Structure 1
Amino acid sequence: MTTSAEPTTVTATTPPPAAAPGLLARLADAVALHPGRPAVHAVDGGLDFAGLDRRTAALARALRARGVRRGDRVGVHLGRTRDLPVALLAVWRAGAAYVPLDPAYPAERIAFMAADARLAAVVSADAAPPVPAGVAVVRPDADAPEPDSGGATGGFDPDPLDSAYVIYTSGSTGRPKGVEVPNGAVADLAAALELSGAYRPEPGIVAWNASVSFDASVQQWIRICRGDTLVVIDDATRAEPARLAHLLAEHGVTDLDLTPSHWQLLREPLAGARVPRLFMGGEPVPARTWRELADAGIDALNLYGPTECTVDAITTPVTGPGPHLGEPLPGVRVHLLDARLTPVTAVGAVGELYLAGPGLAHGYPGHPGLTAGRFVADPFAPEPGARMYRTGDQARRSAEGLLEYVGRADRQVKLRGFRVEPGEVEHALGSLPGVGAAAVAVHEAAPGDHRLAGYVTGAVRPADLLAELRRTLPAHLVPSTVTVLDALPLTPNGKVDHRALPAPAAQAAAPGAAAGSDARGGVEEQVAEVWRTVLGVPGVEPTDSFLGLGGHSLAALRVVHLLRRKLNVELQLRDLLDAADLAGFTSAVRRAAAAGPSAVRPALTARREAVR
């Protein structure tokens, strides 16, 4: 790590990349050099690079035929299938920017994002996706048949300043906000990750694990454009650690992106197996996890970077005694500043991280004031007119000169890889009928298990509020619990005192649930014991729901994993999340037990062949 003439500007030891080739140009090279190499494996089939080229070209032509032009935005409303990478690349070939619309999101939120982004079209497997009237719907199979033979048509060659994508993140104003990233920033990221050694020179087999709504997924499109093979992990396999571990081994996966929380679920299934290189991001790596990885000699990288700085800005191998952020990627400049934009130089002194360089996003479309407040003039830049991004992340320098993450300067948090603005959740909660006032806080139910907790005043039932929130918010924004209070605690200046909010654990169990009912069958008691262990609640009754007790997707994975070991049953994540209560889930467990144990096999196994 070196510093420039301005001693607090941290830059990379590796020189910044020269003019980086665009990703579509790199994809064209990969197609020309290795047309028969597998490009995509997915639950519904595979593609080699020649087939990928033909399918993306056909879909790009269909988009252009429906009026999509340079600078437009196109929604991508597809599940984790072969068509998802095809659609994202086709949008680029049509000259547009893609906007991911996760089908798992509530229809109301998808409709808001589609309207806010002013989509010209949407690629969807559904004939009538939840988008505004007038938005053209293009279905990959029905509207973009692949040519029988012959080469693909040439694609649009985007300008570096043209937008590549708009990804929506949680917004403190109560609505999600889009972050618009240019093509040049994505090309620079690809070159910087190669120069830094994060990407190996030889082609790899890369598992796509991140949600398409999470900017870590951008790395996967980089990898396929440079000639790597992409294994799209379907939802069922992604939700089951044992199945995912089997898939990684079956396909010889060399690289896997995941959050530290997800790694904790994979540790045991991967014990004794070859572990791919881990690209860890989305949330800070806990000290214990860092030491475990380092002591085991596992090849892992810690990646730091907000969506506004094109995925990754700082990286380091997970080695040594404890967590730190590492070194900026080539071309990235890092400033540690105080509230007056004065450099913070003292060892151990806390400042705010500002990032600068070619990876900055354009900003927040439709929100010029918000853009101006976060993307500010860079007084330390060697060139005039440069900007830097105010991350809101606090850091300090260690005695060894390493940057260490401290926390947030505001209330924003990262939960299971997703950015969460508590203000957005508070706005949604406070808008519900009967709620007088609302507050949201984060509590740690167990070491490393952070959850959202809601607090309200009014004559309301928490179960009703949670049900309504699940109808309008993505799962990662729905609180695990809602507690009704007589009044919210206030600071002396009249603001909500979030630190004085009570722990929600006392309200988690149903009334009268102490250590669980003795009048239940043996299977139900064993299931209840696992629930109590995972959720940290004192008791569980047959009518209690998993989500109502504070459960979430990662907690559900732990329950399924523990019951698989405890009862030797093959359960699916949906068995738990779809069950109305403990009694209903126990019935599913009994049915699974009656069916007998089955081999844990990923759905991709049967469809590994490449489609040419």
Structure 2
Amino acid sequence: MHSSSTGLTDAAAAALAAPAPEATTDPLLRFRAAAAAHPERTAVTTPAGDRLTFAELDSRAGGLAAALTAAGVRPGTAVGISLARGVELVAALLAVWHAGAAYVPLDPAHPAERLDHVVRDAGITVVVAAGGGHRWAPEVRVVAPDATAAHPAPPVPVPPAAPAYVIYTSGSTGRPKGVTVTRGGVAQLLAALEARGIYRDAPGRVAWNASVSFDASVQQWARVCRGDGLLLLTDELRAEPEALAAYLLAHGATDLDTTPAHWSALRDQVAAAAERLPERPLRLFIGGEAVPPAMWTDLAGLAGRGLVRAVNLYGPTECTVDATAGWVTDGTPHIGTPLPGVGAHVLDDALRPAQEGELYLTGAGLAQGYLSRPGLTAERFVAAPSGPPGSRMYRTGDRVRRRPDGGLDYLGRVDHQVKVNGFRVELGEIEAALTDHPAVAAAVVVLRPDAAGATLAGYVVPRPGVTPDLGAVREHLAARLPAYMLPSLTALARLPLAVGGKVDRAALPDPAVEAVPDGGEAAEALPTGEFEVTVAEAWQEVLGRERVLATDDFFALGGHSLMALRVVANLKRQLGVVIPSRLVYQHPRLRDLAREAAQLAS
């Protein structure tokens, strides 16, 4: 591991490596050009203080690519990547491209059932993973992240239409669907953000915030392909605003990507750190969900003080991360104008141009479609009414309105898809998982605003004669869905129906809050011992409650993924114990989580 102080600070004014003409269509070739031009520049920095130069990262990626080729990976192959955020992850992503293949994120924090489904659905036979994690199917070959081969393998040339990655998003049918994005789409994304001036001309130090299973990560980690350095963020740092701000300041961060919900937790500490950064203003890439008006006004004020310059980015996974962009200035929230190379068409139900309607997108950033789902691909990627023969446009499902200045206002969805802390969620997938439980006859899930952004609320109707155990239902969900898709649960005798017979979502009651027991039952439920009391204090702080019980369920009290990260960070600070965030989902009852923390401490 390289440990010298050589980094981007020493060359802040240096020009980015000018790519060869053919490299503009392939981000991997851009990375190799950057490594050749500035081999000693720091490419990756970790919170532990480890550094990797561009030359070292190129060498690691090449060695792993040779091992992947030896394991049978060929151009177009889907390769699973199941690694925590670290230098090994960056090298593995580049190695898959080096081998001419496409990477498929397999988040180690996701439930085993979901990981196995993705492996089967994508036809994955090779996974890059460290030992001691998920038990992969016998037919899956596991390659260690530090593997090499006896004979080096040169980069495999691929056309722009070759797949670059497959990211799985929530599916309304109850199963996630894989979106296949091309190498040319990634090249188009980088070129468009450069042309718009959203990326700096000089090398940056980019704080990589998003999970690799979230498509916003591509816009962050692929910055290394143009010569920028990556500052890796752990889940613990993401949950601790003070520590994250100190890390950004210590390494002179120039760019940070975040969702509005996460920014609301980071704002005060990061804005204070931005006053002391050597290169101001800090560029804030904000997206994944709508920016509230009050936050927009505040960000515009920070821009006026020269501390933070925010750009609001909008785009579906199916169009390679970002399709429109708008700088946050005075006025009301908007999603900006189309990026270069992107066509944004506002159409009515008859596909005629309209001032207000559904947004359709065209351009080189369009994905190939949904992996092994030709029907759904044809439904969402429709024929364009104009342009060359075979032209397609993606139907976003987002309602927008054109502004007088040419920008776009986001008005909402035309379906039941929602955004939860930046993640796209099909409520139908959660509802399908709920009704798959033998005690549940019917279910509906809605999105409700909360102090941290938004939270999911689920309502279940039990089968006749059955008294549902909501704790068991939550365990059922946690075994099938990622953490950000877990709702609070409320049992109802029946779902409210509108006149037409559909569920009247507006008539659903507020989520149930479990009653506080009295007398002896209350005494038994009070937290006892160091670990229960400390967990209770962490929950009270994060959930904003005066009292919690040892029998309480974190998600039943309104907890969600961002809150879980804050709980983990709080417990590390108070107990000195690193608790994987997945344990909060596997053991949502306070007493059970405290027991797990005690076992880790011992």
- Asked if the contact 1:571–1:589 (Cα under 8 Å) also holds between the matched residues in 2, the reply is no
2:359 to 335, 353, 363: 353
> What is the 5 A alignment of 1:288-299?
288-297=294-303, 298-299=308-309
Q: Does 1:574 align with 2:579?
A: yes
| TM-aligned CA distance change 1:182 to 1:526, over 3 Å | closer
Residue in 1 aligned with 2:94? 89
Residue in 2 aligned with 1:403? 408
- Asked if the contact 1:569–1:589 (Cα under 8 Å) also holds between the matched residues in 2, the reply is no
> What is the 5 A alignment of 1:121-136?
121-126=126-131, 129-136=134-141
Distance 2:404 2:181 in 1: 36
SS at match of 1:324: coil
2:462 to 446, 457, 468: 457
Residue in 1 aligned with 2:184? 184
- Asked if the contact 2:343–2:361 (Cα under 8 Å) also holds between the matched residues in 1, the reply is yes
> What is the 5 A alignment of 1:529-608?
531=539, 534-535=542-543, 540-557=548-565, 569=574, 574=579, 578=584, 581-582=589-590
- Asked if the contact 2:108–2:133 (Cα under 8 Å) also holds between the matched residues in 1, the reply is no
Structure 2 letter corresponding to 1:28: R
| TM-aligned CA distance change 1:511 to 1:130, over 3 Å | same
- Asked if the contact 2:421–2:453 (Cα under 8 Å) also holds between the matched residues in 1, the reply is no
SS at match of 1:181: strand
Distance 1:557 1:537 in 2: 17
Structure 2 letter corresponding to 1:325: I
1:355 positional shift: 0.6
Residue in 2 aligned with 1:164? 164
Residue in 1 aligned with 2:148? 144
Identity %: 51
Residue in 2 aligned with 1:61? 66
- Asked if the contact 2:571–2:577 (Cα under 8 Å) also holds between the matched residues in 1, the reply is no
1:207 positional shift: 1.3
Q: Quick one: higher RCO (CA 8 Å, sep 6+), 1 or 2?
A: 1
SS at match of 1:79: coil
Q: Does 1:330 align with 2:340?
A: yes
> What is the 5 A alignment of 1:110-259?
110-126=115-131, 129-141=134-146, 143-144=147-148, 153-259=153-259
Which consecutive unaligned segments of at least 5 residues does structure 2 have?
Answer: 1-20, 275-280
1:557 positional shift: 4.9
2:27 to 6, 9, 23: 23
| TM-aligned CA distance change 1:317 to 1:467, over 3 Å | same
Structure 1 range deviating more: 571-580 or 94-103: 571-580
String of CA shifts for 1:535-558, please: whole Å, max 9, x gaps.
366853332132332212322455
String of CA shifts for 1:60-86, please: whole Å, max 9, x gaps.
111111111111110011111211011
Q: Does 1:485 align with 2:495?
A: no
| TM-aligned CA distance change 1:74 to 1:339, over 3 Å | same
String of CA shifts for 1:560-588, please: whole Å, max 9, x gaps.
78999xxx957778399647655677899
Structure 1 letter corresponding to 2:183: N
1:409 positional shift: 0.4
Residue in 2 aligned with 1:42? 46
- Asked if the contact 1:509–1:538 (Cα under 8 Å) also holds between the matched residues in 2, the reply is no
- Asked if the contact 2:459–2:492 (Cα under 8 Å) also holds between the matched residues in 1, the reply is no
Distance 2:483 2:431 in 1: 15
SS at match of 1:24: helix
Distance 1:35 1:543 in 2: 56
- Asked if the contact 2:181–2:367 (Cα under 8 Å) also holds between the matched residues in 1, the reply is yes
SS at match of 1:442: strand
1:145 positional shift: 6.6
SS at match of 1:267: helix
2:383 to 363, 371, 377: 377
SS at match of 1:185: helix
- Asked if the contact 2:359–2:398 (Cα under 8 Å) also holds between the matched residues in 1, the reply is yes
| TM-aligned CA distance change 1:50 to 1:575, over 3 Å | closer
Q: Does 1:415 align with 2:423?
A: no
Structure 1 letter corresponding to 2:300: A
- Asked if the contact 1:392–1:409 (Cα under 8 Å) also holds between the matched residues in 2, the reply is yes
1:236 positional shift: 2.3
| TM-aligned CA distance change 1:127 to 1:556, over 3 Å | closer
SS at match of 2:331: coil
Distance 1:327 1:72 in 2: 35
Distance 1:402 1:162 in 2: 32
Structure 2 letter corresponding to 1:241: P
SS at match of 1:342: coil
Distance 1:563 1:268 in 2: 22
| TM-aligned CA distance change 1:539 to 1:47, over 3 Å | closer
Distance 2:296 2:594 in 1: 37
Q: Does 1:368 align with 2:374?
A: yes
Distance 2:45 2:77 in 1: 29
| TM-aligned CA distance change 1:539 to 1:493, over 3 Å | farther
String of CA shifts for 1:139-159, please: whole Å, max 9, x gaps.
122x32799xxxx75311221
Structure 1 letter corresponding to 2:226: R
Residue in 2 aligned with 1:599? none
Q: Does 1:102 align with 2:111?
A: no
RMSD: 3.2
1:455 positional shift: 2.8
- Asked if the contact 1:241–1:557 (Cα under 8 Å) also holds between the matched residues in 2, the reply is no
| TM-aligned CA distance change 1:29 to 1:270, over 3 Å | same
Which consecutive unaligned segments of at least 5 residues does structure 1 have?
Answer: 1-16, 592-612
Residue in 1 aligned with 2:278? none
1:245 positional shift: 1.3
Structure 1 range deviating more: 70-79 or 483-492: 483-492
Q: In the comparison of the two structures, how many residue pairs are matched?
A: 560
| TM-aligned CA distance change 1:495 to 1:157, over 3 Å | same
Residue in 2 aligned with 1:13? none
Residue in 1 aligned with 2:282? 276
String of CA shifts for 1:344-394, please: whole Å, max 9, x gaps.
13xxxx31111111100000011111000000111133x232111000011
SS at match of 1:126: coil
Distance 1:550 1:56 in 2: 42
Distance 2:544 2:133 in 1: 42
2:37 to 19, 33, 36: 33
1:463 positional shift: 1.2
Distance 1:113 1:483 in 2: 30
String of CA shifts for 1:208-247, please: whole Å, max 9, x gaps.
1100100011113321111111122123222322221111
Superposition TM-score, scaled by structure 2 size: 0.85
| TM-aligned CA distance change 1:360 to 1:271, over 3 Å | closer
- Asked if the contact 1:128–1:137 (Cα under 8 Å) also holds between the matched residues in 2, the reply is no
Structure 1 range deviating more: 215-224 or 231-240: 231-240
String of CA shifts for 1:145-183, please: whole Å, max 9, x gaps.
799xxxx75311221011000000000000000000111
> What is the 5 A alignment of 1:284-323?
284-297=290-303, 298-323=308-333
Structure 2 letter corresponding to 1:218: V
- Asked if the contact 1:70–1:94 (Cα under 8 Å) also holds between the matched residues in 2, the reply is yes
String of CA shifts for 1:479-508, please: whole Å, max 9, x gaps.
1x111111112233332222222110x435
- Asked if the contact 2:337–2:406 (Cα under 8 Å) also holds between the matched residues in 1, the reply is no
Distance 1:209 1:538 in 2: 32
